[in-house]
Structure 1
Amino acid sequence: MGGEDRWCVVTGGRGFAARHLVVMLIRFEMFSVRIADLPPSIKLDPDEEKGPLGEALRSGHAQYISTDLRDKSQVLKACLGAEVVFHMAAPDSSINNYDLHHSVNVQGTKNVIDACIEQNVKRLIYTSSPSVVFDGVHGIFNGDESLQYPARHNDSYSATKAEGEALVIKSNGMNGLLTCCIRPSSIFGPGDKLLVPSLVNAARAGKSKFIIGNGNNMYDFTYVENVAHAHICAERALASERMVSESAAGKAYFITNMEPIKFWEFCSLILEGLGYERPRIKIPVFVMMPIARIVELTYKLLAPYGMKVPQLTPSRIRLLSCSRTFNCSKANDRIGYTPIVPLQEGLRRTIESYPHLRADIQPKRHGPSKASIYLGSGRVADTLLWRDKKQSLTTLLIMFAFYFNFIASGYTIITAVSRLLLAASIFLFIHGRLPKKILGYSVEKVPESNFHFSEEMSHRVVVSVASLWNSVVNGLKSLCKGNDWMLFIKVVLSLLALILIEAISLQGLFVLGLPIVFVAFLVYEKKEEEIDGLVLGIHSFGCKLKSNIAKRLSNSK
């Protein structure tokens, strides 16, 4: 079409779907492409450097401009001389931060609309989301564009995307600007840094065996090239003097692959294609939701201190357990959209694009081991993992001395503890009486703060004890009703285990426990993956056994 002098802008142009749209626009030679995104400069992947994007940047048919949508002056600069704007920028949907999403999805979209009007841009295509009509409670089956925005959305991302979409539709016709909105459902494909990596991380952590809900919820997924194709269809429909059907402007359109599939079947196909097991163990939503709420609350408290965004949140649980399918008839009629890549072909291409995530290619561990994390990554970890051999040997000698003086001697626990406290008291008193220097050597005094028990710590201990007590009372109440067989079995097994431990003498416990502590964590650090796999296998077997017992007990009633 000869697009040398005709420019379009793609906001969020380095995002997953936006990259595919940029390449498609370059290949079709529709426009010269201005890529607007937040980083100060563009960094191309090796395949991009050799591909159409790298060539277009070198020839001047594409350019990059650093743009913060929250700064209107930057948006005005990005839209200067453009004929079309594809507004695809949005924050990470997994971060449930209202202020962040509102600043980009609402205020940023206002700035884009104002820039389009002031710079005489002719067409604006906004990338919305099907989540704008999802309340997080009720499933959607073959939903069409007649669905209204719910009174309350599933998360702040959906709520602010709905606000942005409404602004774009309302701006249609202002100063000759034609607008429409695209609602692509669950995008997947090569270059995805969310869906497939998350599935693989879950599989490697042993979490992909679980299905949240009954596993029958239906979903509409959309291959990323179909999403790019839908944007171009929308732009062509707005640009055409004779629309495909009725006017395409001022409306929103659902975009899918038009091949609904069970959500967990889709995930299974990707996992199996990469060599992992498909999910099999079903966990009810009512079991997962309280856990997700606790995780979300913990994140809100600890996010300022660097806690990463958790995957297990209430909004994510709802997304994984509800059905969401949509009708694309309107998109077909008004903008001429039809998928160009079938679902199975899209799956094949997606799986082939992640050879580094296959099950037979395990990543090298970065950062501290699990054993180190469990032990607090401090002196205890250094001692039990033999990182400081001098410190480990010293600790062992002290423990052996304690054993021979207080345990092997046959004292009762009360006598042993009393002798230990007596020895500690004598040591502290004599140490406190010593001068600060002896024969030129400084004597470091034990600071009083080492024995301080803060009010906050006291409160935490009291709360923990109260919580434990309440849990025990609730368990006793459930036992009194006589209808919770699983709780009864757990209590019996726990008490039997306690009896077995009590049967072991303190001396035997010390003799067995000390070598295990100093060896077990070291072995676990060296054989972490093998041991985790074994534990997960045992856990899976236990879950199946528990499920079978529960079914038999329910059938016997």
Structure 2
Amino acid sequence: MGGAERWCVVTGGRGFAARHLVEMLIRYGMFHVRVVDLGPSIKLEPYEQKGTLAEALRSGVAQYASADLRNKAQVLKALQDVEVVFHMAAPDSSINNHQLHYSVNVEGTKNVIEACIEQKVKRLIYTSSPSVVFDGVHAIINGDESLPYPKKHNDTYSATKAEGEALVIKANGRDGLLTCCIRPSSIFGPGDRLLVPSLVDAARAGKSKAYFITNMEPIKFWEFVSLILEGLGYERPRIKIPAFVMMPIAHLVEWTYKLLAPYGMKVPQLTPSRIRLLSKSRTFNSSKAKDRLGYAPIVSLQEGLNKTIESYSDLRRDHHRIADTLLWKDKKQTLAVALVLIAFYYNFVASGDTFVTVISRLVLVAVVFLFIHGKLPQKILGYKIEKIPASSFHFSQEMSSQFAVSVASSWNETVNVLISLCKGRDWMLFLKVVFFLLIINFLGVVSLQSLFRIGIPILFVAFYVYEKKEQEIDALVLKVVSFGHKQKSGISIVK
């Protein structure tokens, strides 16, 4: 990996923002760029095949190195003969896994710092997050770098990013290493070049500080979402649900994900930490980055929105079956789904059979379907019959390992919850456990038949009625909430 050239490294170099940083560094021309990520080899997207990175890889201006930040030996090798490191690697923030976040954001960052010192790296720029100063409870208006870390963060991702940031700042000046942390806010868009100039300038400045990076055009989150949706041909969100109503549902969704994640359930969008994040105002002041780094947004908010909308033309409104079904916009489709659900109910739910019987019957139906499907010819009346590949039913070694790790992680998390409860200090955790057990108790009392009979009609009727009578229902809910607050105030006064 040696050579007379000046090299820089981008960890997590195949991430969204990091890809654009890599391209700009290549165009900038000051450094050769080493892209470091987990994959054994680099796989370019179709749009990258003839782009800047592909040409740089062919010419030797860029190279790829596979490394796990949790393995110091691999990090040392990746940082060999490097002058500047842009540390951008981090797990998906939506995954609420403390062990994963801690091992990468804290222990991995420690390895990067130690490797920088051992390899005589001159500058380390750490990509942090505005969430490091957010507790999930208090809003932040025009916050700047003087904000302290909260005692308790909104989620494990934010907490571990804060720990990593503190380590990087503390490492400034050790054996000649200069460090800097940048907190980019709300990255979006295909040409997201807002962060890159500040990162390059920070590599020159070498001052151990943290800087908020925004486009200096504050906008309400839901207004931002509405502009994106309207640009793609969708209606603005009109349903307004209080956060306190959604929070219990989010906790249930999060618990369901933890239970079913080993079986392939995708990370849900509705989580408690995300609701807290979206229901609190957060604006940040970038004056420090502007004054000390010469930072200025390259792309305006409107231009960024336009480019984002153009790049996602494949997501323009053409079909959204679930919404159309529930709102009766496609009556044939709605009736078809309703008939399928009714058939399922009478064959598998209303019979009152045991759980084992229902499962065996479902397996029987699946076996019959697969057998008939396998016997069908490749084409029927000109229509091609897609065959299900055998690999779809295989359980790979990687999946087995992930399942084992998930089971162990769930067990350890449960033990940690019990330990915390035994200490008797965390009231919020206690209330969560009580609420969860009450839900289990409710589900145990109500039969599956009752849930199906009540839930399905509500699902098909409630959304339709709300769309037609939105203003009246919102006004009624507001009156009920106001009445409840008045009653509560009255009781408090009497006391």
TM-score (norm 1): 0.63
C-alpha deviations, 1:70-100, integer Å up to 9, x for none? 0001100110001000000000000010000
Are 2:71 and 1:71 aligned?
yes
Are 2:455 and 1:540 aligned?
no
List aligned pairs for 1:501-540, cutoff 5 A: 536-540=463-467
Residues 70 and 103 in structure 1, CA contact (< 8 A), matched pair in contact too: yes
Counterpart residue number, 1:355: 313
Quickly say closer, same or farther: Cα 1:533–1:35, change in 2 above 3 A: farther
Counterpart residue number, 2:282: 324
**TM-superposed deviation, 1:462:** 10
Aligned AA (1:98): H
**TM-superposed deviation, 1:160:** 0.2
Quickly say closer, same or farther: Cα 1:81–1:299, change in 2 above 3 A: same
List aligned pairs for 1:5-404, cutoff 5 A: 5-190=5-190, 224-238=192-206, 249-360=207-318, 375=344, 379=361
Provide the rounded CA distance (Å) in 1 between the counterparts of 2:134 and 2:315.
32
Provide the rounded CA distance (Å) in 2 between the counterparts of 1:178 and 1:461.
52
**TM-superposed deviation, 1:45:** 1.2
C-alpha deviations, 1:254-275, integer Å up to 9, x for none? 0000000010000001111111
Quickly say closer, same or farther: Cα 1:542–1:467, change in 2 above 3 A: farther
Quickly say closer, same or farther: Cα 1:336–1:154, change in 2 above 3 A: same
Quickly say closer, same or farther: Cα 1:555–1:67, change in 2 above 3 A: closer
Residues 466 and 473 in structure 2, CA contact (< 8 A), matched pair in contact too: no
Q: CA RMSD in A?
A: 3.5
Aligned AA (1:82): V
C-alpha deviations, 1:464-484, integer Å up to 9, x for none? 477559xxxxxxxxxxxxxxx
Residues 69 and 75 in structure 1, CA contact (< 8 A), matched pair in contact too: yes
Provide the rounded CA distance (Å) in 2 between the counterparts of 1:539 and 1:232.
51
Quickly say closer, same or farther: Cα 1:534–1:65, change in 2 above 3 A: farther
**TM-superposed deviation, 1:108:** 0.3
Which stretch of the first structure deviates more once superposed, 299-308 or 97-106? 299-308
3-state secondary structure, aligned to 1:172: coil
Aligned AA (2:250): A
Provide the rounded CA distance (Å) in 2 between the counterparts of 1:164 and 1:555.
44
**TM-superposed deviation, 1:554:** 8.2
**TM-superposed deviation, 1:228:** 1.7
Provide the rounded CA distance (Å) in 2 between the counterparts of 1:329 and 1:279.
33
Residues 182 and 254 in structure 1, CA contact (< 8 A), matched pair in contact too: yes
**TM-superposed deviation, 1:383:** 6.6
Larger CA Rg, structure 1 vs 2: 1
**TM-superposed deviation, 1:225:** 0.6
Counterpart residue number, 1:437: none
**TM-superposed deviation, 1:550:** 4.1
Residues 4 and 32 in structure 1, CA contact (< 8 A), matched pair in contact too: no
Residues 128 and 183 in structure 2, CA contact (< 8 A), matched pair in contact too: yes
Provide the rounded CA distance (Å) in 1 between the counterparts of 2:192 and 2:154.
24
Provide the rounded CA distance (Å) in 1 between the counterparts of 2:481 and 2:164.
50
Aligned AA (2:85): V
**TM-superposed deviation, 1:302:** 2.9
Quickly say closer, same or farther: Cα 1:466–1:52, change in 2 above 3 A: closer
Counterpart residue number, 1:421: none
Provide the rounded CA distance (Å) in 2 between the counterparts of 1:102 and 1:180.
20
Counterpart residue number, 2:493: none
Residues 383 and 389 in structure 1, CA contact (< 8 A), matched pair in contact too: no
Quickly say closer, same or farther: Cα 1:340–1:168, change in 2 above 3 A: same
Quickly say closer, same or farther: Cα 1:11–1:552, change in 2 above 3 A: closer
**TM-superposed deviation, 1:308:** 2.2
List aligned pairs for 1:472-491, cutoff 5 A: none
C-alpha deviations, 1:423-470, integer Å up to 9, x for none? xxxxxxxxxxxxxxxxxxxxxxxxxxxxxxxxxxxx99994477559x
**TM-superposed deviation, 1:546:** 2.2
**TM-superposed deviation, 1:541:** 2.3
Provide the rounded CA distance (Å) in 2 between the counterparts of 1:155 and 1:462.
25
**TM-superposed deviation, 1:186:** 1.1
Provide the rounded CA distance (Å) in 2 between the counterparts of 1:98 and 1:461.
25
Quickly say closer, same or farther: Cα 1:132–1:373, change in 2 above 3 A: farther
C-alpha deviations, 1:398-423, integer Å up to 9, x for none? xxxxxxxxxxxxxxxxxxxxxxxxxx
Provide the rounded CA distance (Å) in 1 between the counterparts of 2:439 and 2:17.
50
**TM-superposed deviation, 1:307:** 2.7
TM-score (norm 2): 0.70
C-alpha deviations, 1:368-407, integer Å up to 9, x for none? x9787994898459879x96999xxxxxxxxxxxxxxxxx
Provide the rounded CA distance (Å) in 2 between the counterparts of 1:263 and 1:350.
16
Residues 37 and 66 in structure 1, CA contact (< 8 A), matched pair in contact too: yes
Aligned AA (1:313): T
3-state secondary structure, aligned to 2:195: helix
Provide the rounded CA distance (Å) in 1 between the counterparts of 2:23 and 2:296.
19
C-alpha deviations, 1:316-338, integer Å up to 9, x for none? 00111111100001001111111
Number of aligned positions between the proteins? 381
Residues 189 and 347 in structure 1, CA contact (< 8 A), matched pair in contact too: yes
Quickly say closer, same or farther: Cα 1:551–1:97, change in 2 above 3 A: closer
C-alpha deviations, 1:264-321, integer Å up to 9, x for none? 0000011111111111111111111111112222223333343322211110001111
Quickly say closer, same or farther: Cα 1:346–1:465, change in 2 above 3 A: closer
3-state secondary structure, aligned to 1:39: coil
Provide the rounded CA distance (Å) in 2 between the counterparts of 1:317 and 1:272.
22
Provide the rounded CA distance (Å) in 2 between the counterparts of 1:152 and 1:171.
24
Aligned AA (1:343): L
Provide the rounded CA distance (Å) in 2 between the counterparts of 1:307 and 1:93.
17
**TM-superposed deviation, 1:178:** 0.4
**TM-superposed deviation, 1:236:** 2.7
C-alpha deviations, 1:92-150, integer Å up to 9, x for none? 00001000000000000000000100000000000000000000000000000000000
Provide the rounded CA distance (Å) in 2 between the counterparts of 1:139 and 1:78.
40
Provide the rounded CA distance (Å) in 2 between the counterparts of 1:328 and 1:150.
20
Quickly say closer, same or farther: Cα 1:538–1:37, change in 2 above 3 A: same
**5+ unaligned residues in a row in structure 2: which ranges?**
323-335, 349-358, 373-436, 448-452, 487-495
Provide the rounded CA distance (Å) in 2 between the counterparts of 1:467 and 1:533.
24
**TM-superposed deviation, 1:549:** 3.7
Aligned AA (1:546): I
